[in-house]
Amino acid sequence: MRESTVRVGLIYPELLGTYGDRGNALVLAQRCRWRDLAAEVVEVPAGAPIPDSLDVYLFGGGEDDPQNMAAAGMRDSRAAIVRAWEGGAVVFAVCAGFQLIGHSYVAADGTRLDGIGLVDAVTDPGPDRLIGEVLVQPDAPLPTLTGFENHGGRTTLGPGVRPLGTVLAGGGNGDGSGGDGALGERLVATYLHGPVLPRNPALADHLLQWVVGDLRPLDSTWEERLRAERIAAGSKTGLAKWWQQRMLNRG
């Protein structure tokens, strides 16, 4: 049994906190406590250096301007993040966070900005925004994930990088590959908000077991009900889009 407190790092919540991504930190800490494991959420405010002492690094979504501010701080703290990750910490990045742990992304004014390059991925602006419910079949022993997306960027993974999974409904990476996010060693990236971990408790536990090892199962009845309801909503969106496309194609 782990002795030390699990330190869940919530990085720049003022900048990278779109659509309640803070909920991801609360869920990780609470699922530890329900198992009698001590956990704390450590907030790293914008402008502060990111320490190398955290067990989980959560990078949330953000609008373009806050995202640019977050990028500068993350680049300054890159060495600490890499040190922690290589030393066993987990990285979980959502939407803008995902774009920022890639090599680069194009800001709203058209300039290409550097990310921190933990993942071989580049993000370019798309012709429109991808908005709505998403369903993803993970490329890991996990049930179908549900989430919400709202992003203009399209992310292309390098040849050696696996996506988190295959998009069943919605956009995901939106680069034509049919994938969402990225899956690496103790690293998950995704376009799914919601926030995504309260909606997908199995994904939360997947991240936690990298930190604490085998986990005792928890009763997730309510979370599973939410997941089932969201899968139904996502499937409806998928069906509606398919129908609309069919009608448009008929002219």
The C-alpha atoms of residue 60 and residue 37 are separated, in whole angstroms, by 24
The C-alpha atoms of residue 250 and residue 229 are separated, in whole angstroms, by 32
Based on its alpha-carbon atoms, the radius of gyration of the chain, rounded to whole angstroms, reads: 18
- Whether 32 is a known active-site residue: answer no
Element (H, E) at 33: helix 22-33
Active site residue: 32, 103, 151, 193, which one?
Answer: 193
The site string for ligand GLN over 23-62 (x = CB under 6 A, - otherwise) reads: --------------------------------------xx
Q: Is 4 exposed, middle or buried (0-12, 13-18, 19+ CB in 10 A)?
A: exposed
Question: Which listed residue (95, 197, 208, 211) binds ligand GLN by CB under 6 A?
Answer: 95
Question: Which listed residue (8, 24, 59, 67) binds ligand GLN by CB under 6 A?
Answer: 67
Sequence-distant (6+) residues with CB within 8 A of 119 are 98, 101, 102, 157, 158, 161, 182, 184, 187, 189
- Min CB(153)–ligand GLN separation in Å: 3
Cβ nearer to ligand GLN, comparing 7 with 174: 174
- Min CB(121)–ligand GLN separation in Å: 13
Q: Which two tokens stand for residue 163?
A: 């996506």
Which region among 82-90, 132-140, 144-152, 217-225 touches ligand GLN (by CB under 6 A)?
A: 144-152
- Whether 95 is a known active-site residue: answer yes
Binding site for ligand GLN (CB under 6 A): 18, 61-64, 67, 95-96, 150-153
| Catalytically active residues, by annotation | 95, 193
